[in-house]
Structure 1
Amino acid sequence: MQKSSLWSLRLGFSNQQSSAIESLGLDLFLKHSFETNSKTIEPEFLANSPKNIKELRERRKNLKASSPEQVKEMVVQEAKISNEMKAWWIDKMMTEKYPLREKMTCFWHNHFVATFQKVKVNHWIFDYNQLLRENAFGNFKDLTKKVLKSNAMVRYLDNVDNKKGKINENLSRELLELFTLGIGNYTEEDIKNGAKALAGLGIGEKEAMYRRNFEDNDTITYLGKTGKFKADDLVDIIFEQKNIPYLITKKILQWFIYDAPKEALIKYYGDFFKKVNFEIQPLLTKIITEEFAKENAGSKIKNPLEFILQLVDALQIDVKNKKAIVFFLKEQGMDLFNQPNVKGWEGGKTWLTSQIYLQRQNVCDLVLQGKTFNRRSVSKDKENEAMNLTFVPKFNWKGVTNKEIIQHITDRFLFMVDENNQKDFEAVLKYDFNPEAQNANQAVLRLFNAITKTPEFQLI
């Protein structure tokens, strides 16, 4: 596989940026990626969704006075808005000239998990998504502090129920276990004391805030330090621990390059991360530039986003209604804003179960026939009829002989081609192939379909 194609997928979601990587060079491509605008205009579909505590209380008041049918309709409406937001985000991923910020936003989205299913307020989910976007290349320590004080997180991990005399440990536990240090680097006593420090931190207008009547101001000992601590203090103490850089460095390596990064590599980049005071941009620059120089294609299974957006780009499909992609991702177990639990999507081999593999093959068959990948599932929904339109898949290919064309396509999409694969491809596109024939394009599309069915196509 050409390096530009490989790293276009790794730094984005498709082969769309491969020519830019080739023409600009990796360093300049990264520079432009880091300089992308992080500000986002609030989408119109959020206009009628509760924005703050006052509007939320008014909505709850209305719900109490409403009939069961009206309550159900309000719930359905908010779920539809959530789907609109998923489609909106997918559109951003597909249309950004330099999509690395969105790729990193999605990484943080799966690290600091807070789902709509639990939070239930679309505005808080949007604000949270924007927080992750704005800080995607910033400072890990600062981002952790901001996440702790977001309405989405205190609601998702039940800190709204964490009060003096009635402690809830959820947020305190995940702060240590999943967000920063990892298992084995703290004690149960640290979790209990951390929960005391977080007691009273609940929903606020713009961000979470402490409520005096529910705070616990006892002196506690946390990771070896004693005092009266609050949320920011906990994070400061956590980031003094010797093992703080390694959990997040491992997850970044897994997100971009290796399903199973070597411990020596995790420590190497983790030590650098601590040296640059937990700044994400220099860490990403070092990882990407140094790993780019290595031969490491085929070290990671594509997640469903990478699979479907690469397919859409390769076949030049104009997906008018991005909810089709929303549906596919949900079927593949990558439902945006709704991970299965606080651990997020596991990645790796979980993206290639027999069911997921079969779904991917079926999708390739459908789009190469000019059919939308979830037409049967959405055909009953009039709102989504636009998803059922047929289209003509297009595919750029070069070459005169069958072997030249096979080489051109596999260089873009496969990290390796063994002897058996080559024979299979030549059986599809035979030695007497005529590129000027009327059905030449259909023959090449059949070849591409055969390529997408290989295990190698699932890897980057």
Structure 2
Amino acid sequence: MNNNTLWSLRLGYSAKQTKTIEKIGFKKFLKQSFSTKFDSNIPDYMEDSPKSFQELKETRKKLKASNPEEIKEMLKKEAQTSFEMKAWWIKKMNEDEFPLREKMTCFWHNHYVSTHQKVKVNYWIFQHNQILRENAFGNFKTLTKKIVQSNAMVRYLDNTDNRKDKLNENLSRELLELFTLGIGNYTEEDIKNGAKGLAGLGIGEESAVYRKNFVDNESFVYLGKKGNFKVDEMIDIIFEQPNIPYLITRKILKWFIYDNPKEELVVYYGNYFKKMNFEIEPLLNKIFSEEYSKNNGGSKIKNPLEYSLQLMDELNAKNPNGKLIAYFLKNQGMDLFNQPNVKGWDGGNSWLTSQVFLQRNNVADLLCNGKNLSRGQKENQDNMMIQQNPNRHLDVKLNWAKEANNKEIIAELKDRLLFQTDATTQADFEQILKYDFDSKTEGSENAVIRLFNFMVKTPEFQLI
């Protein structure tokens, strides 16, 4: 695979940015990726969703006073809004000229998990997503403080139930175990004491606030320090710990480049991250710049987003339906805003189980035949919301050199799609597109599409 194509996929979701990288160079491409602007506008689909705590209370009052049919309709409307949010985000991922901010937002989305299924308030989930987007390239400690004090997070990890004399340790535990230090770098006593410091931190208007009646003001020992600490001070203490940089650098390497990064790389980049005072942009810049020059293609299994958006891009699918893509992602185990648990998507081999691989092959068949992703799937509540006939045909068109011979066309597609092939696979390709292939004959377009369909079903296409 062309190295610029490889990095277009790694820093985005398709080969769309390949020509830009070739034209302006990788260094300038990174610079422009980091300088993308944050859009703070609230999308139209959020217009009718409650946005303040007061609006939420009024909505709940209305629900209690409504009849079963009205309740059903109101809940259905909020479920539709949640689905609209998935489609809105997929559109951003797919259309941004420099998609690294969205790729990094998705990374943080799977690090600081907070699901719609549990939080149930669309605006809080949207706020959570916007915090990640705004701070995608900012400071790790600052981002941690903002996310832990978001309404979505205190609801998701039950800190609304955490109060003096009735502690709930969920947020305290995940702050240490999953968000910052990782297992082995704290004690159970730190978790219990951390819950005291977080006691009373509950829902506020724009972000979480301490409720005076529920706060625990007793001193406690936290990671070796004694005091009456609250959330910001606790996170400051966490970021003084010697092993703070390594959990996140390991996860970044896994998200972008290696399903199984070497420990020396984790430590090397982690030490640099600490030296940069936990600024994310310098860390990413160093990782991408240094790993770009290495021969490391095929070291990561594509997640369902990378797989589906690359297919859509290669086939030049016009106006792909984000809701259908979201439905496919859910079937693949990558349901946006609804990870299976607080640990998030596992990634790696979990993206290539026999069932997932079969689904990918079926989708390749559908798209190569110009059909929508959900064609043939049983109707259910999710795709009833899509409001677009899943059986309608898509306008797809594969780009290839019309004057080339069979081996040249095969080489062109291999360069765009596959990181490596062997002689046996090459022979299989030449069986599909034979030596006497003539692009001027009727059906030549279909023959190249058949070759493409075969290529994207190979194990090599699942890797980047």
For Structure 1 versus Structure 2, the TM-score category normalised by the shorter chain is over 0.9
Alignment-derived partner of residue 99 in structure 1: 99
Deviations 1:185-211 (A, max 9, x none): 000000000000000000000100001
Alignment-derived partner of residue 215 in structure 2: 215
> In the TM superposition, what is the alpha-carbon distance from 1:379 to its structure 2 partner?
6.2
Q: How does 1:332-371 map to 2 (within 5 A)?
A: 332-371=332-371
Deviations 1:165-194 (A, max 9, x none): 100000000000000000000000000000
Which letter does structure 1 place at the counterpart of 2:124?
W
Q: How does 1:378-417 map to 2 (within 5 A)?
A: 381=384, 384-398=387-401, 400-417=404-421
> In the TM superposition, what is the alpha-carbon distance from 1:387 to its structure 2 partner?
4.0
**3-state SS, counterpart of residue 221 of structure 1:** strand
Runs of 5+ consecutive residues of structure 2 not aligned to the other structure: none
Summarize the Cα distance change of 1:457–1:184 in structure 2 as closer, same or farther, 3 Å threshold.
Answer: same
Task: Output the CA distance in 1 between the equivalents of 2:60 and 2:20.
Answer: 50
Task: Output the CA distance in 2 between the equivalents of 1:27 and 1:378.
Answer: 47
Alignment-derived partner of residue 282 in structure 2: 282
Alignment-derived partner of residue 108 in structure 2: 108
**3-state SS, counterpart of residue 163 of structure 1:** coil
Alignment-derived partner of residue 133 in structure 1: 133
> In the TM superposition, what is the alpha-carbon distance from 1:73 to its structure 2 partner?
2.1
Q: How many residues align?
A: 460
Which letter does structure 2 place at the counterpart of 1:441?
E
Task: Output the CA distance in 2 between the equivalents of 1:107 and 1:172.
Answer: 22
2:93·2:102 contact (CA, 8 Å) conserved in 1?
A: yes
Task: Output the CA distance in 1 between the equivalents of 2:156 and 2:200.
Answer: 15
2:80·2:385 contact (CA, 8 Å) conserved in 1?
A: no
Further displaced range: 413-422 or 369-378:
369-378
Q: How does 1:314-333 map to 2 (within 5 A)?
A: 314-333=314-333
Deviations 1:238-295 (A, max 9, x none): 0000000000000000000000000000000000000000000000000000000000
> In the TM superposition, what is the alpha-carbon distance from 1:378 to its structure 2 partner?
7.1
Task: Output the CA distance in 1 between the equivalents of 2:379 and 2:115.
Answer: 27
> In the TM superposition, what is the alpha-carbon distance from 1:385 to its structure 2 partner?
2.4
2:318·2:396 contact (CA, 8 Å) conserved in 1?
A: no
**3-state SS, counterpart of residue 168 of structure 1:** coil
Which letter does structure 2 place at the counterpart of 1:148?
V
2:15·2:313 contact (CA, 8 Å) conserved in 1?
A: yes
1:201·1:209 contact (CA, 8 Å) conserved in 2?
A: yes
Q: Structure 1 residue 458 and structure 2 residue 456: aligned?
A: no
> In the TM superposition, what is the alpha-carbon distance from 1:386 to its structure 2 partner?
4.4
Given the alignment, which residue of 430, 433, 436 partners 1:432?
A: 436
**3-state SS, counterpart of residue 324 of structure 1:** helix
Task: Output the CA distance in 2 between the equivalents of 1:326 and 1:378.
Answer: 16
> In the TM superposition, what is the alpha-carbon distance from 1:440 to its structure 2 partner?
1.2
Task: Output the CA distance in 2 between the equivalents of 1:116 and 1:348.
Answer: 24
> In the TM superposition, what is the alpha-carbon distance from 1:438 to its structure 2 partner?
2.2
Runs of 5+ consecutive residues of structure 1 not aligned to the other structure: none
Summarize the Cα distance change of 1:379–1:370 in structure 2 as closer, same or farther, 3 Å threshold.
Answer: farther
Which letter does structure 2 place at the counterpart of 1:63?
L
Alignment-derived partner of residue 178 in structure 1: 178
1:379·1:388 contact (CA, 8 Å) conserved in 2?
A: no
Please report the RMSD computed on the Cα atoms of aligned residues, expressed in angstroms: 1.1
Q: TM-score, normalised by structure 2?
A: 0.97
2:324·2:386 contact (CA, 8 Å) conserved in 1?
A: no
**3-state SS, counterpart of residue 226 of structure 2:** strand
Which letter does structure 1 place at the counterpart of 2:328?
F
2:223·2:237 contact (CA, 8 Å) conserved in 1?
A: yes
Alignment-derived partner of residue 446 in structure 1: 450
* Percent of pairs with identical residues: 62
Q: Structure 1 residue 300 and structure 2 residue 300: aligned?
A: yes
Q: TM-score, normalised by structure 1?
A: 0.98
Task: Output the CA distance in 2 between the equivalents of 1:304 and 1:159.
Answer: 32
Summarize the Cα distance change of 1:137–1:383 in structure 2 as closer, same or farther, 3 Å threshold.
Answer: closer
Which letter does structure 2 place at the counterpart of 1:425?
F
Summarize the Cα distance change of 1:99–1:320 in structure 2 as closer, same or farther, 3 Å threshold.
Answer: same
Which letter does structure 1 place at the counterpart of 2:355?
Q
Task: Output the CA distance in 2 between the equivalents of 1:172 and 1:444.
Answer: 55
Task: Output the CA distance in 1 between the equivalents of 2:389 and 2:85.
Answer: 17
Deviations 1:400-445 (A, max 9, x none): 2111110010011100011111011000000110122221111100
1:113·1:342 contact (CA, 8 Å) conserved in 2?
A: yes
Alignment-derived partner of residue 39 in structure 1: 39
Task: Output the CA distance in 2 between the equivalents of 1:204 and 1:150.
Answer: 9
1:13·1:309 contact (CA, 8 Å) conserved in 2?
A: yes
> In the TM superposition, what is the alpha-carbon distance from 1:37 to its structure 2 partner?
0.8
> In the TM superposition, what is the alpha-carbon distance from 1:121 to its structure 2 partner?
0.5
Alignment-derived partner of residue 52 in structure 2: 52
**3-state SS, counterpart of residue 388 of structure 2:** helix
Q: Structure 1 residue 70 and structure 2 residue 70: aligned?
A: yes
Task: Output the CA distance in 2 between the equivalents of 1:200 and 1:92.
Answer: 37
Task: Output the CA distance in 2 between the equivalents of 1:322 and 1:382.
Answer: 12
